[in-house]
Amino acid sequence: MTDSKPQSVSARDGITIDDIAKRAHVSKSTVSRVLNSSAVVHDHKRAAVEKAINDLGYKPNIFAQGLASGRSMTLGILTQNMGGHFYDSIAQGAIEGLADSGYTPLFVDGGWEHTKEVASIEALLSRKVDGLLVVGGRISASTLVEYKNQVPLIVVARNIHGLEGQCIAVDNKQIGYLSTKYLLQEQHSRIVFIHGKENHPDAQDRFTGYLQALREAGISQSEELVYHGDFSGYAGLKAVNYLLDQGICFSAIVAANDMVAFGARLALYRRGIRVPEDISIIGCDDQEEAALMPPPLTTVRQPSHEMGVAAAKALLSLITKKECELPELEPALQIRESVERFTES
């Protein structure tokens, strides 16, 4: 009598395709087709093979499968600022997009340095990754196009000339525009803009959107209302302290991101200035903490998680089908309690 109880063994313990074939009463080629999903197998045979795999506790040798298929079954993901909400959200989305694909992601951090980004990508390529997913960064467009010719490539959070159809990003000009326009609709006119990292394209585009909204409202840009910081909470803290110390009058703040907004909120709190009764604040990204700060932060949501999911799926498609399709994703204003209509006191 055959014992059908699963055995706690793996491929490394000596279980072979021949063992599975005998257990399932099928040919070795049928087992191979099931394991590699390389051809259609009748449902009853597939079920028998899957049961035999489960009964034997077989774990496929991914390395051996990769040698047989010519693939490493790994994907390289270059990201920035690990631990930062925006980039981590994209990374989590990419992991979700790779679920059940058989692919393992290998993450490296570019650190916003062109040289480090190139070194990181070269390290991934030396490990024979089957594709590259590049998130943000400063690596040049020409260099990315060169990599495109070596390996399937998708770029997230940037639009690169020469990689049309292989980039997914949100319009950062629209983010700055939506933020400022909403404050203008609430009758604010003295609106501070706390800038992001110097020369960062996202920061520059958000500032461009801010200026566009002001122009449309017939308001001239005021240099004293623009503070050049970075994307950190300390930038928001320092910006507000500087503006108040200089005696600059303002009623609202557009922050480069939510972290900057958190820092600005703290500075106002320490000065006894109420939000939104005295000063309104609007952020960008809609990280989880935004809805929990006192008061809950009005912000512009970036669909970062969705970008990661879509990018990973597009990369898989590019590897297997040699083509991909990326969705168009839009930023969305999240109205909460940190903005109040301006009235003259």
User: How many helices (H) does the chain have, and how many strands (E)?
Assistant: 12, 11
Model confidence, pTM: 0.78
344 found inside a domain? no
Say whether both 83 and 116 belong to one domain.
yes
Say whether both 130 and 247 belong to one domain.
no
Show contacts of 106-109: CB within 8 Å, 24+ apart: 106/74, 106/75, 106/76, 106/77, 107/77, 107/79, 107/82, 108/76, 108/77, 108/78, 108/79, 109/78, 109/79, 109/80, 109/81, 109/82
Residues counted in the chain? 345
List, for residues 184-242, the tens digit of each pLDDT value.
999 999 999 999 988 888 999 999 999 999 999 999 999 999 999 999 999 999 999 99
The DSSP line for 218-283 is: T----GGGEEE--SSHHHHHHHHHHHHHTT---SEEEESSHHHHHHHHHHHHHTT--TTTT-EEEE
Confidence of residue 33 (pLDDT cuts 50, 70, 90): confident
Say whether both 288 and 314 belong to one domain.
no
Say whether both 286 and 243 belong to one domain.
yes
In the prediction, which pLDDT does 28 show? Answer: 85
5 found inside a domain? no
> Amino acid letter at 51?
K
36 found inside a domain? yes
Say whether both 188 and 245 belong to one domain.
yes
CATH number at residue 43: 1.10.260.40
In the prediction, which pLDDT does 61 show? Answer: 61
Say whether both 225 and 287 belong to one domain.
yes
Confidence of residue 9 (pLDDT cuts 50, 70, 90): very low
Q: Among 229, 215, 225, which Cα is nearest to 253's?
A: 225
146 found inside a domain? yes
Say whether both 184 and 295 belong to one domain.
yes
Say whether both 165 and 179 belong to one domain.
no
Mean of pLDDT values over 286-313: 96
Say whether both 251 and 278 belong to one domain.
yes
Say whether both 161 and 182 belong to one domain.
no
Residue 324 has pLDDT above 50, yes or no: yes
338 found inside a domain? no
CATH number at residue 134: 3.40.50.2300
Q: Please give the Cα distance from 250 to 126 (Å, whole number).
A: 53
The angle that helices 233-245 and 258-270 make with each other, rounded to 10 degrees, is 40
Q: What percent of the chain has pLDDT over 70?
A: 91
What residues make up the domain containing 39?
A: 11-60
119 found inside a domain? yes
294 found inside a domain? yes
Which of 35-44, 147-156, 212-221, 333-342 is predicted with the least confidence, judged by mean pLDDT?
35-44
Mean of pLDDT values over 305-310: 96
Say whether both 32 and 141 belong to one domain.
no
Residue 139 has pLDDT above 70, yes or no: yes
Mean of pLDDT values over 154-183: 95
Say whether both 200 and 280 belong to one domain.
yes
Please give the tally of structural domains in the chain: 3
